[in-house]
């Protein structure tokens, strides 16, 4: 294996920052403010940054999707707000208990724990998890802390495999010594500490099938890489883990997805963040991530034409178009972070060829092809998309 | 075939009393419940009228004593002026006699057959004389009165005089009636008196029911209504017979003076005009061509009397003839001439009749009456200005509307004519028709049948156009219908304003509760977050809500006043 690699680890830029007392003091500060307002005869309120497309923008300098400064004020003495005001305080008190007791709860547990009938009425504090989830999101934006920092977790998805040593609570382990399945990424990665990182870069893989293939082919060992399987759209835990590995450990991030609009969107989310979680971009996004494949060029270059699939929907030049995949490609072409020659060329090519190509299509060459030739060649030569 | 002389063997002159004895239904004596109500009605009406004319605040006590099966004694006592001894037989025994029947005046009663009808009814059902105890301040007279049906005359069966050391004044009558029944229904005595009390807030009315229960409808106004004044008939409202008979009786010495003196709205100038109209009518009648005739009648209706006259040759002669008629003594006026005068009246224009004879209850007193008896949460009343129907009969409409409070759900319509409650034949009555024609939804009353609303309607007139002899239903006269509608809509608008305000207040209460119900939850959470005691936090919040709502209440009321 050539030692002169195009991707190199760089210096760490962020430090391990998990600090539960920060969350607690913020919660207490907000509680005190409400209490002071009511004591002095003022209508207490919370200022919550607004969600939605109207309040996000692309920060050109930091190259991430960020939340605007539009606020919505939630008053206690307002018929339309009172219930949510109560719910916000309820969750805040719950979070305080969770964090101070060092326990974690899932979103569903948080919902059930706080759901009860309000005395003297037939009304419940929460009728549905669809009421509690947005309150938790509101708190993240309002307090500027992650849900994970509030010890509220979502379902876990994704796993990692590679020569790094992680301390998770009382356990310490090397993620390449846990069997072929690697280590499942938990909902909350805040408290994880990276004891040893003996890899040169992290390869983020869209499908579990491809990640399994690479592990079986011993790609992580040979290439000194960490495999991170997202299993579709990357979960918050995985995105946060990628962010932390990049900023705290200086690991280059290379993303390997299908060559289709969905795969490119997964890349886009890891890189720039998402509209939904724009307020967390600073903590979740990794703008310096690079893209290894699949690209439209790969079809020609590796002779994969016969294993492509047709794009779904109506092309833009046809009547009724564009729809389906074509429509999404055109949307992506308009993303500010895809405003560069390379990406525009890829997306144009996709529209022109009208095909998509999956990671697994590389198996058409041979099972080892992806691990022995495709990835090492492209990564070590630096043939990556920005 | 029978001979005429045979047939006429059975011929007999029937007295008025005899007629009504046989046709008691015409006086309201039909049905066991209604008959009892009618007896009470006649007595109470007389008491109220007497008190009013004497300027006394009425105190009327009605007692119904059960003597046997469908057999009762009705006692009605008042604090009125009393009846002079020599008039007792006339008041109670003679039909078509009274202080008002012969005058053009608004009255509660009928044509003077009211109480004598009751005496008659008592007599023909129980055979008993009516006991009358009365005093005008001197001795107390106790008399038993019967009616001599054949002679249409009252006769006193027995009479006693008692000293009156305490100076009592008033009248108490006791009638024994059979074939009647006391029921607390909407057509019974209780309901009748309740309605009477509402329309006569100046009266204190008491009822002792057969089971001994005392019900009091207290006085809610200290003001005795002014008695109605007599009004001269308006030319548009008279019939040929009226003119003919009035002419026979008048003390004036020419037809012209008679017309000016005994009718309202007729002046010297109007008589001159009348001459021309009569002349024109005479001339038109000479025209042979029917089409031309119709045309001339139409022009006359349009007031072109001079032009119509000039279209006839030698019209001045006819005018002179008619003018002579006006100067002859009225008792010489022929039926035909009276007919001509009345016909000419139809074509002429007159000022609307004077309305000073009408005596509405008045908005304030209606409100007092409804408030005092029904105890509603909202009440309003509308008295419309007087209007005229049939071209010459003045009338006036009043409406009272009570809502909520002790009024149960279900719409109730209380109908009155000259303050007298109408309990029967509601269906075809103009009041019912008008009330039903209102689109109540427009006034925030979504379901009238279930709304806690009592609507009272009083139609006042010298001549209320009843539909039948029972005088329980007012004919659907357009002008009256219209006035009732306008009055109801006016009252309903005020109800609407009240209801919107009420809804707003209810909404405020609901709002307040919304906030209050979350306070315990909020206090618990804030206590966890800040460490302060839950109870204290709860109090802060509750006090805050209280203050804010006290403020908004003031604001809301200011808005309502400005609106």
Q: pLDDT (tens digit, 9 = 90+) per residue, B502-545?
A: 888 888 888 888 889 999 999 999 999 999 999 999 999 999 99
Which chain A residues touch B529 with a CB distance below 8 Å?
A: 27-28, 30-32, 89, 92-93, 96
Which chain A residues touch B524 with a CB distance below 8 Å?
A: 93
Ranges A98-102, A186-190, A308-312: which has the least confidence = A186-190
**Could you say which of A30, A35, A85 has the minimum Cβ distance to residue B537?**
A35
Is the CB of residue B426 less than 8 Å away from at least one CB of chain A?
no
Tell me the per-residue pLDDT of A114-144, one tens digit each, with 9 for 90 and over.
Answer: 999 988 888 899 998 999 999 998 998 888 8
Which chain A residues touch B520 with a CB distance below 8 Å?
A: 118-119
Confidence of residue B4 (pLDDT cuts 50, 70, 90): confident
Query: Between A and B, how many CB-CB pairs are < 8 A?
Result: 70
Q: What is the model's pLDDT at position B563? A: 34
Which chain A residues touch B530 with a CB distance below 8 Å?
A: 28, 31-32, 35
- What value does the mean pLDDT take over residues B156-166? 89
Which chain B residues touch A113 with a CB distance below 8 Å?
A: none
Contacts of B164 (CB under 8 A, 6+ apart): B135, B137, B138, B139, B140
Please give the residue of chain A at the shortest CA–CA distance from B511: A79
C-beta atoms of B532 and A35 within 8 A: yes
Confidence of residue B391 (pLDDT cuts 50, 70, 90): low
C-beta atoms of B548 and A92 within 8 A: no
**Could you say which of B515, B517, B547 has the minimum Cβ distance to residue A41?**
B547
Which chain A residues touch B544 with a CB distance below 8 Å?
A: 38, 41, 43, 77
Tell me the per-residue pLDDT of A245-304, one tens digit each, with 9 for 90 and over.
Answer: 999 999 999 999 999 999 999 999 999 988 878 888 888 899 999 999 899 999 999 999
CA distance A46 to chain B (A): 14
Is the CB of residue B545 less than 8 Å away from at least one CB of chain A?
yes
Which chain B residues touch A78 with a CB distance below 8 Å?
A: none
Q: What is the model's pLDDT at position B110? A: 47
C-beta atoms of B525 and A92 within 8 A: yes
C-beta atoms of A82 and B526 within 8 A: no
Q: Is the pLDDT at B298 greater than 80, yes or no?
A: yes
CB B255 within 8 A of CB B326: yes
ipTM of the complex: 0.74
Structure tokens at A224: 């000194």
**Could you say which of A27, A82, A93 has the minimum Cβ distance to residue B518?**
A82
Is the CB of residue B501 less than 8 Å away from at least one CB of chain A?
no
Please give the residue of chain B at the shortest CA–CA distance from A77: B515
Distance CA A9, CA B293 (A): 122
Confidence of residue B101 (pLDDT cuts 50, 70, 90): very low
C-beta atoms of A43 and B548 within 8 A: yes
Is it true that the peptide bond before A294 is cis, omega within 30 degrees of 0?
yes
**Could you say which of B511, B518, B537 has the minimum Cβ distance to residue A86?**
B518
C-beta atoms of B525 and A82 within 8 A: no
How many residues are there in chain B?
563
C-beta atoms of B518 and A79 within 8 A: no
**Could you say which of A32, A82, A85 has the minimum Cβ distance to residue B530?**
A32
Residue B474 DSSP code: B
Tell me the per-residue pLDDT of B150-159, one tens digit each, with 9 for 90 and over.
Answer: 777 788 889 9
- Mutate: best of A86, A98, A99, partner B, most B CBs <10 A: A86
Quickly tell me which residue has 């119904």 as its tokens. B64
Tell me the per-residue pLDDT of B448-492, one tens digit each, with 9 for 90 and over.
Answer: 889 999 999 999 988 888 887 678 899 998 889 999 999 999 999
Please give the residue of chain B at the shortest CA–CA distance from A28: B529
Within 13 Å of residue B64, how many CA atoms lie on the same side as its CB?
30
Q: Reduce the DSSP state of residue A183 to 3 states and report it.
A: strand
**Could you say which of A31, A96, A120 has the minimum Cβ distance to residue B517?**
A120
- CB neighbour class for A227 (10 Å; exposed up to 12, middle 13-18, buried from 19): buried
| CB-based burial, B509-546: b 16+ in 10 Å, e otherwise | eebbebbbbbbbbbbbbbbbbbebeeeebbebbeebbe
Dihedral angle over CA of B253, B259, B264, B270, nearest 10: -130
Distance CA B533, CA A78 (A): 25
Is the CB of residue B87 less than 8 Å away from at least one CB of chain A?
no
Q: What is the model's pLDDT at position B98? A: 46
Q: What is the model's pLDDT at position B555? A: 55
Question: Any idea which residues of A carry the catalytic annotation?
Answer: 112
Quickly tell me which residue has 């008629």 as its tokens. B325
Highest mean pLDDT among A88-92, B121-125, B303-307: A88-92
C-beta atoms of A77 and B515 within 8 A: yes
Contacts of B264 (CB under 8 A, 6+ apart): B231, B232, B233, B234, B235, B353, B354
C-beta atoms of A32 and B520 within 8 A: no
Is the CB of residue B541 less than 8 Å away from at least one CB of chain A?
yes
Query: Checking DSSP bridges between strand B393-403 and strand B214-217, what pairing results, if any?
Result: unpaired
pTM of the model: 0.56
In chain B, positions 503-532, which contact chain A (CB-CB < 8 Å)? 511, 514-515, 517-518, 520-522, 524-526, 528-530, 532
Phi/psi of residue A141, nearest 5 degrees: -70, -40
Tell me the per-residue pLDDT of A9-19, one tens digit each, with 9 for 90 and over.
Answer: 788 787 777 77
CB B219 within 8 A of CB B346: no
Distance CA B176, CA B100 (A): 27
CA distance A72 to chain B (A): 20
B269 C-beta neighbours (distance < 10 Å), count = 9
Query: CA separation (Å) from B526 to A341, B336, B518, B522, B530?
Result: 55, 101, 12, 6, 6
Distance CA A213, CA A360 (A): 9
Which chain B residues touch A75 with a CB distance below 8 Å?
A: none
CB A204 within 8 A of CB A235: no
Please give the residue of chain A at the shortest CA–CA distance from B528: A93
Q: Please name which of B350, B283, B365 lies closest in space to residue B316, comparing C-alpha atoms.
A: B283
């Amino acid at each position: 294996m050539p030692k002169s690699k195009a991707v190199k680890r760089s210096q760490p830029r962020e430090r391990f920052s998990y600090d539960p007392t920060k969350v607690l003091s913020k919660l207490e500060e907000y509680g005190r403010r409400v209490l002071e307002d009511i004591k002095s005869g003022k209508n207490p309120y919370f200022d919550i940054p607004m969600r939605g497309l109207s309040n996000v923008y692309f920060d050109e300098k930091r190259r991430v999707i960020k939340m605007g400064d539009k606020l919505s004020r939630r008053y206690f003495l307002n018929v339309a707000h009172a219930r949510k005001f109560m719910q916000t305080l309820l969750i805040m008190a719950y979070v305080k208990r969770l964090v101070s007791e060092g326990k974690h709860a899932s979103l569903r547990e948080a919902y059930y724990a706080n759901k009860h009938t309000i005395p003297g009425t037939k009304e419940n504090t929460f009728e549905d998890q669809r009421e509690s989830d947005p309150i938790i999101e509101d708190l993240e934006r309002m307090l500027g802390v992650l849900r994970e920092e509030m010890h509220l977790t979502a379902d876990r998805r994704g796993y990692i495999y590679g020569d790094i040593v992680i301390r998770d609570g009382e356990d310490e382990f090397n993620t390449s010594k846990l069997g072929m399945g690697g280590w499942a990424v938990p909902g909350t990665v805040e408290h994880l500490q990276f004891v040893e990182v003996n890899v040169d870069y992290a390869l983020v893989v869209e499908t579990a099938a491809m990640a399994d293939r690479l592990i079986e082919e011993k790609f992580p060992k040979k290439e000194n890489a960490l495999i991170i399987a997202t299993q579709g759209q990357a979960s918050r835990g995985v995105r946060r883990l990628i962010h932390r590995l990049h900023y705290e450990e200086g690991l280059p991030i290379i993303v390997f997805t299908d060559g289709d609009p969905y795969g490119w969107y997964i890349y886009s989310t890891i890189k720039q963040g998402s509209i939904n979680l724009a307020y967390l971009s600073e903590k979740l996004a990794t703008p310096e991530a690079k893209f290894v494949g699949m690209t439209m060029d790969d079809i020609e270059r590796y002779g994969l034409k016969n294993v492509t699939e047709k794009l779904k929907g109506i092309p833009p030049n046809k009547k009724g178009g564009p729809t389906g995949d074509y429509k999404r490609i055109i949307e992506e072409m308009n993303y500010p972070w895809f405003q560069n020659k390379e990406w525009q060329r890829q997306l144009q090519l996709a529209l022109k060829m009208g095909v998509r190509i999956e990671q697994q299509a590389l198996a058409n060459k041979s099972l080892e092809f992806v691990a022995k030739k495709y990835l090492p060649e492209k990564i070590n030569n630096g043939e990556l998309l920005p | 075939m029978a001979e005429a002389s045979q047939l006429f063997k059975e011929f007999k002159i029937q007295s008025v009393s005899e007629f009504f004895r046989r046709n008691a239904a015409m006086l309201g004596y039909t049905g066991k419940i209604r008959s009892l109500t009618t007896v009470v009605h006649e007595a109470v009406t007389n008491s109220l009228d007497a008190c009013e004319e004497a300027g006394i605040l009425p105190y009327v006590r009605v007692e119904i004593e059960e003597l046997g099966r469908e057999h009762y004694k009705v006692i009605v006592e008042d604090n009125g002026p009393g009846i002079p001894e020599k008039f007792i037989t006339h008041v109670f025994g003679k039909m078509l006699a009274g202080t008002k029947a012969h005058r053009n005046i608004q009255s509660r009663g009928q044509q003077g057959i009211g109480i004598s009808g009751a005496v008659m009814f008592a007599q023909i059902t129980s055979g008993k004389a009516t006991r009358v105890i009365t005093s005008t301040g001197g001795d107390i007279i106790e008399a038993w009165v019967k009616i001599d049906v054949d002679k249409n005359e009252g006769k006193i069966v027995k009479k006693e005089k008692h000293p009156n050391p305490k100076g009592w004044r008033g009248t108490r009558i006791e009638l024994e009636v059979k074939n009647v029944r006391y029921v607390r229904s909407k057509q019974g005595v209780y309901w009748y008196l309740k309605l009477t009390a509402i329309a006569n807030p100046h009266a204190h009315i008491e009822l002792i029911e057969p089971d001994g229960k005392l019900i009091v409808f207290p006085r809610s106004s200290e003001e005795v209504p002014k008695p109605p004044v007599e009004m001269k008939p308006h030319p548009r409202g008279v019939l040929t017979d009226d003119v003919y008979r009035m002419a026979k009786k008048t003390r004036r010495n020419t037809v012209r003076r008679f017309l000016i003196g005994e009718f309202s709205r007729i002046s010297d100038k109007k008589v001159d005009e009348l001459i021309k109209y009569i002349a024109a009518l005479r001339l038109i009648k000479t025209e042979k061509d029917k089409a031309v005739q119709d045309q001339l009648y139409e022009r006359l209706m349009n007031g072109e009397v001079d032009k119509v006259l000039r279209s006839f040759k030698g019209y001045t002669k006819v005018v002179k003839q008619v003018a002579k008629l006006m100067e002859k003594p009225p008792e010489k006026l022929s039926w035909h001439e009276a007919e001509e005068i009345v016909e000419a009246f139809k074509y002429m224009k007159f000022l609307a009749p004077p309305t000073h004879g009408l005596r509405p209850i008045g908005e304030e007193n209606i409100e007092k009456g409804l408030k005092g008896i029904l105890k509603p949460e909202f009440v309003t009343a509308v008295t419309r200005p007087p209007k005229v129907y049939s071209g010459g009969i003045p009338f006036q409409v009043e409406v009272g509307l009570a809502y909520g409070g002790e009024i149960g759900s279900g719409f109730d319509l209380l109908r009155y004519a000259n303050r007298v409650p109408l309990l029967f034949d509601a269906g075809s009555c103009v009041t019912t028709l008008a009330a039903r024609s209102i689109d109540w939804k427009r006034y925030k009353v979504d379901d009238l049948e279930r709304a806690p609303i009592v609507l009272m309607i009083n139609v006042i007139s010298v001549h209320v156009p009843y539909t039948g002899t029972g005088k329980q239903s007012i004919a659907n006269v357009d002008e009256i219908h219209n006035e009732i509608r306008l009055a109801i809509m006016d009252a309903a608008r005020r109800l609407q304003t009240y209801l919107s305000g009420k809804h707003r207040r209810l909404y405020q209460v609901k709002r307040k509760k919304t906030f209050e119900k979350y306070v315990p939850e909020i206090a618990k959470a804030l206590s966890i977050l800040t460490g302060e005691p839950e109870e204290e936090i709860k109090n802060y919040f509750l006090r805050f809500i209280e203050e804010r709502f006290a403020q908004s209440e003031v604001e809301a009321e200011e808005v309502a006043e400005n609106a």
